[in-house]
């Protein structure tokens, strides 16, 4: 069973700022609840071909995987694919301006679980939207709180 989860949120910050923060692996642990560690395997900054090892805790299981940047349009789109890990996964971030000048951020995770992960696919499909909505809400709070304190 394929997993395909699409979530989005509007953040009251310009797209360039949201993309710069959310698209930087050094910031991942600040807003992704389940990510426990990120270690660059290539030298920053993020470019096509950049790789990092991630460790997550999801559904009570430790998951270790390596993401590689497959596509990067600064300020607009970031596509990462697992190069190593429990199952092939692709994560896409898009950032677009709203009419008010804020950012609509879309987060899409899709993949085809294999092995033991295949058994968890139905549960993952239910749990991932809750988790990604929680992550996007944390990002919104973090970025909008920074905006309020800077004013």
DSSP run (H or E) holding 116? helix 115-150
* Of 55, 121, 113, 58, the residue nearest 87 (C-alpha): 113
Domain range for 51:
3-150
pLDDT above 70 (res 25): yes
CA distance 115 to 88: 11
Contact predicate 92/2, CB 8 Å = no
pTM: 0.89
pLDDT above 70 (res 38): yes
What CATH number is given to the structural domain containing 71?
3.30.530.20
Mean pLDDT across the chain, nearest whole number? 89
Count of structural domains, the chain: 1
Beta bridge partners of 54: 38, 65
CA distance 13 to 16: 8
Backbone angles phi, psi at 143, to 5 degrees: -75, -40
Residue 112: band (very low, low, confident or very high) from pLDDT cuts 50, 70, 90: confident
Q: Tens of pLDDT along 83-98?
A: 777 678 999 999 999 9
């Amino acid at each position: 069973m394929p997993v395909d989860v699409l979530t989005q949120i509007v953040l009251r910050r310009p797209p360039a700022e949201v993309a710069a923060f959310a698209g930087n692996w050094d910031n991942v642990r600040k807003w992704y609840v389940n990510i426990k560690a990120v270690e660059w395997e290539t030298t920053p900054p993020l470019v096509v071909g950049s790789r990092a090892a991630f460790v997550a805790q999801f559904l009570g299981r430790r998951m270790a995987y390596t993401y590689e940047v497959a596509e990067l349009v600064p300020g607009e789109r970031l596509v990462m694919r697992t190069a190593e890990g429990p199952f092939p996964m692709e994560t896409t971030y898009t950032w677009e301006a709203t009419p008010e000048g804020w950012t609509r951020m879309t987060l899409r995770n899709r993949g085809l679980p294999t092995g033991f992960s295949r058994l968890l696919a139905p549960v993952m499909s239910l749990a991932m939207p809750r988790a990604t909505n929680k992550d996007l809400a944390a990002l919104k709070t973090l970025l909008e709180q920074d905006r309020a304190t800077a004013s």
